[in-house]
Amino acid sequence: MLKRVAIMLAALLVTGTSLAYAQTTEHQERPRLSQADLKALTDARIGVVKAALQLTPDQEKYWPALEAAIRARSAGRQQRLAALTERMRQQHDVDPIDVLRERADNMAQRSAELKKLVDAWQPLWQSLSPDQKRRMGFLAVRVLHVMRNAAQVRHMEIEEEDEEHEE
């Protein structure tokens, strides 16, 4: 059952991304995901992880901290992408030093968020059974990798659109 859900989710993401890309033309602006859409995607990812783990009552006590860390990391990423999009729309003369400084600040934020995520995962991970770890490994390698790639493709498309508008 879990394997079917994961495969269906991966297929939906892959086909949904390619269909959305195929339906757009150079003259149409692709619809951007709203905050509600991004929250729904985060909720779905969290739900998939929790469903895959099938936590025991003893393990449930670790879940709130992990969920909060996942949400914080997602929110931070959304804020950074929104700031990047806004900066690219407003700036015509780009100062490379400012770009590098902002990139360094973003990397520091990502690092802090990732550390919090790892700290939240550690106690839960230590309590997982071998079956739960195997399911999580499958999820991380296959399904979440597809989701991340789809998001990266969309981000690159946004950057290309912004470059086209500047020309």
Whether residue 90 is contained in a domain is answered as yes
Whether residue 5 is contained in a domain is answered as no
**Which residue in 117, 19, 32 sits closest to 78, CA to CA?**
32
Q: Where are the alpha helices (DSSP H) in the chain?
A: 2-22, 35-53, 57-60, 63-90, 96-127, 130-138, 144-166
DSSP 61: T
Whether residue 105 is contained in a domain is answered as yes
Whether residue 7 is contained in a domain is answered as no
| Parent domain of 48 | 35-166
φ/ψ (deg, to 5) at 129: -80, 165
User: Helix 130-138 vs helix 2-22: angle between axes, to the nearest 10 degrees?
Assistant: 10
How many angstroms separate the most distant Cα atoms in the chain?
58
Plot region of 32 (φ>0 → left; ψ -120 to 50 → alpha; else → beta): beta
> What integer pLDDT is reported at residue 165 of this predicted model?
55
Whether residue 3 is contained in a domain is answered as no
Whether residue 20 is contained in a domain is answered as no
Whether residue 16 is contained in a domain is answered as no
> What integer pLDDT is reported at residue 18 of this predicted model?
43
Averaged over successive runs of 10 residues, the pLDDT of the chain (167 residues) comes to: 53 47 46 81 91 95 96 91 80 80 92 95 96 90 75 74 59
Whether residue 29 is contained in a domain is answered as no
Burial label for 116, CB within 10 Å (0-12, 13-18, 19+), is: middle
**Which residue in 4, 117, 127, 105 sits closest to 59, CA to CA?**
127
Number of structural domains (the chain) is: 1
**Which residue in 114, 45, 44, 48 sits closest to 77, CA to CA?**
114
